[in-house]
Each structure stands twice: as C-alpha cells, then as structure tokens.
Amino acid sequence: MFGAAIAYGLSRAGVDTLMLDGHDNNLRAARGNFGLVWVQSKGKGLQRYADWSRESARLWSGFAAELTDITGVSIAHRNDGGMMLLLGDEEVEKRKIEIAEMSKQSGATGYDCEIITHADIQAYFPDIKLGKAVTGASFCPHDGDVNPLKLLRAMHSGFVNSGGRYKSRCTVNNIDHANGVFTANTQQGQFSAPKIILAAGHGISHLAESVGIDAPIRPQRGQVLITERIQQALPIPLNGVRQTDEGGFQFGSSEEDIGFDDGTSLDVVQNIASRAVQSFPQLSTVRLVRNWGCVRVLTPDKCAIYEESISHPGAYVATSHSGVTLAAINARLVSKWIATGEQPTDFNHFSASRFHVQAT
C-alpha cells in the first residue's frame, strides 16, 4: 500500500518509475486490511504523526476524486466521521482518559474527538438497532473509510496509465550501490536507478540495512471477519465494524503478537463475533463468509518511518501500519519529497533514529 501510493504519485508527476512486487501469496497487508482512513487513534507519543494522519485524511477527498477521474474506479471513500464503539462503563472511562491525554499532547492543534451517548450513536444509524451493551462511543469528525481493494486497484492502474512500469513475482533479494546507481537484484534479473524507495512492508528490514537504515519492524496479527452482503445500514465506519460499499459487514481486528502467522483462530473469531452481535443484535442471523488474518507492519511506536539514507543518498525508506489512511499524503507529499527533495515540515520527526535515542 505504501509503495503503490508513492509510486502512483511519482508516475503522476512524470517521474520514470518501476515498481517491483513479490508473489501472489506473499504476506500482503494491503490486501487484508480494514479500509479505515483513521485519525482518532493515531500518534500517541508522536504528535507529528497525529497531525500527519489528520493532514492525510484532509487530502483524501481530492485524492479519491482524482483516482476515480483518471481510472474510472470508484473507491467508495467516505469522510463523515467515525466512531469507536464502547461496550460497558469501563471502556468508556478508559477512553475518556485516553482522550484527555491526547488533548493535552496536541495542545493548540486540538484533538477533535468526543464521547457520545447511546442515543447519539443510534441517531447515526436509523436502519439498524444498537445493542444495549453499547454504552457510548468516541466520535471523530476526521475519520472515514474507503474500499481498500478498489483503492489498491485504482492506484495500480493509475500508476500504469501514467506510464509507470510494474513487475510482479519479482522479489528483491538484495541491493547494490555503486557510482550513484542502485541495483536491485531480483529473481527476474537486475534493475537499476539513481533512486530507490523501500516500501516492502515485512520484507523491509534487511533491505533497509543494506542501504544503512535501521528500520525495526514487527508483525502483529489482526483477524478480520466479513459477512455476506446486506442492505446498507452503516453510513459511517466504526473502528471495529464497517460496512463495505458492496454490503458486507466487516469486523475486526484483533491485536496478536504471534509472529508472521496470517492464519485465524476460533477463540478470537468468537470474541469478534460476540462483540459484533452485542453491538448490533440484528446481525446474529447474518452469515460470515470469510475470516482472515492480516499481519500489520508495526514500528516500535506504531508511527511511520520516512527517511533518506545518509550513507547512501538516493535510498529511501517509507513504511508504517495505516497505509490506507496515509495513501493520500504518500501519493502527494512523500512522492514530492522523493522527486524534488522538498521536505514537509518537521519531517525529521519520522526518522528511525528516534528509536535509538541513547545512541545519538
């Protein structure tokens, strides 16, 4: 998702770009994710990242319109706010504390998120009855969602339409650097360019190391459930429940630290299902058609890394969870940074050096 967005932005700006991609069955967070353009839970401990997410959410409408315009793919972007449903008083209290902390951290910018009541929530959803277990929600007007599969498809075809070249089944084994030229060695041969962007998700760490950047990434599994299609009833997304434009209800996601296993497990499925029917009891007769695991790409503070190598200028690392939320800003500002060198404000906050404070 990161790579596709940046490559799209580059080829739109007229930069001759080659996108190298792995195999059909690689771990691919871009194909398994939840589709949220999400601001309210981002940037705890790194305000620049909270702002960055909100900025991306703001750029999203223009970005979505442009994608549809040039590819004809409508990606079902919505930006009417989003909620985190809270079940029970304990969850409400916990969320209140988090909101207070984020408000403090954000200072003058403000943290646009408030707790709303059961009745307020129900008013948003006239076509489906809210379960009485729902005691509140935190609402953030900047949140939204998109169909992530259509997004990927649109970025892909937008990239190809603007002259970008795409090679699949082309896993990069290692990278050489000589005379200002980077060479990616792949099973399909060598590809050279003066600039190279590493956005390989879980495959990034060893490639980044070879250009002198330490990009510590860890896997975290999130299980997702999707139901058969049902008539539209959720006009805005919730953090653990959203309805796709095709009608499927999607539920998720767990946070499991179990390595690179993208499988599923029944106990987690049961938890997710049980929360779903407590939130919306009418869903109890709706059928689950698929349940998958998706392995998140997490940095130690869950915020993005953007960095150009000091030892190998021209080599960049761009990676994070939240590739959907950040797709707009990656396509716009990050690709511009790579193409022209023009850095967004306070961009050094995203350097991976923040994970080695003692060393510097």
Partner 1 sequence: MFRRHDKSSQANGDNVTIYFEDAPIICKPTDSVAAAVLLSDPGYTRRTPVTKAPRAPYCMMGTCFECLMDINGVENQQACMVPVRDGMKVRRQNGVPVLPEDSKEPEND
Partner 2 sequence: MTDSADLIVIGAGPAGLAAASLASKHNLSIMLLDEQAAPGGQIYRNIEHNVTHESEICAILGAEYAYGAALAETCRASDVTYTPGATVWRIDPDGGVAYSVDGAAHTAKGRRIILATGALERPVPIPGWTLPGVMTAGAAQTLLKSSAMLPSGRVVVAGAGPLAMLVTLQLIDAGADIAALLETTRKRDYFSNAMLLPGAMAGQDYLRRGMAMRRAIRASGVPIYGGVTELEARGDGQVSSVRGRSGGERLTFEIDTLLLHDGVVPNIQATRQVGCEHEWYDPQRYWRPVRDSWGTTSIDTITVAGDGAGISGARAAEYLGQLAALDAACRLDKINMADRDSAARPIRSAMQPHTAIRPLLDGIFSPSFTTPHGDDTIVCRCEEVTAGEIRTAVAQGVMGPNQIKSFTRCGMGPCQGRNCGLTVAELIADVQGVPVSDVGYFRLRPPIKPVTLGELAAMDFSETDS
Burial of residue 23, with CB atoms counted within 10 A of its CB: 0-12 exposed, 13-18 middle, 19 or more buried: exposed
Q: Could you give the CA distance from residue 150 to residue 238 in angstroms, rounded to a whole number?
A: 20
Residue of 122, 168, 174, 187 interacting with partner 2 (CB under 8 A)? 168
Site for partner 2 contains 285 (CB under 8 A) = yes
C-beta closer to partner 1: residue 193 or 286: 286
User: Do the strands 241-243 and 218-229 form a parallel or antiparallel pair, or are they unpaired?
Assistant: unpaired
**Residues pairing with 251 in the sheet:** 225, 241
* Residue 264 binds to partner 2 (criterion: CB under 8 A): yes
Options 41, 53, 79, 157; binder of partner 2; rule CB under 8 A:
157
> How far is Cα 258 from Cα 222, in angstroms, rounded to an integer?
10
If contact means CB under 5 to 8 A according to the sort of partner, which of partner 1, partner 2, none does residue 247 touch? partner 1
CA distance 290 to 340: 43
The distance of closest approach from Cβ of residue 288 to partner 1 in the complex, given in angstroms and rounded to an integer, is: 12
Q: Give the residue ranges of DSSP H helices in 107-247.
A: 118-124, 148-161, 204-210
CA distance 99 to 86: 13
By a kind-dependent CB cut-off of 5 to 8 A, residue 181 interacts, out of partner 1, partner 2, none, with none
Q: Which does 205 bind (CB under 5 to 8 A by kind): partner 2, partner 1, none?
A: none
Phi-psi region of 335 (alpha: psi -120 to 50; beta: other; left: phi over 0): alpha
For position 181 contacting partner 2 by CB under 8 A, the verdict is no
Q: Which residues contact 19 (CB under 8 A, 6 or more apart)?
A: 3, 4, 7, 159, 164, 165, 166, 167
Residue among 276, 295, 317, 333 that touches partner 2 (CB under 8 A): 276
Scanning residues 259 to 298, which ones bind partner 1 (CB under 8 A)? 277-278, 281-287
25 counts as binding partner 2 under rule CB under 8 A = yes
Q: Does 119 bind partner 2 (CB under 8 A)?
A: no
Q: By CB under 8 A, is residue 277 in contact with partner 2?
A: yes
Contact residues for partner 2, defined by CB under 8 A:
21, 23-25, 31, 149, 152-153, 156-157, 160, 166-169, 225, 227-228, 246, 263-264, 266-267, 269-270, 273-274, 276-278, 283-292
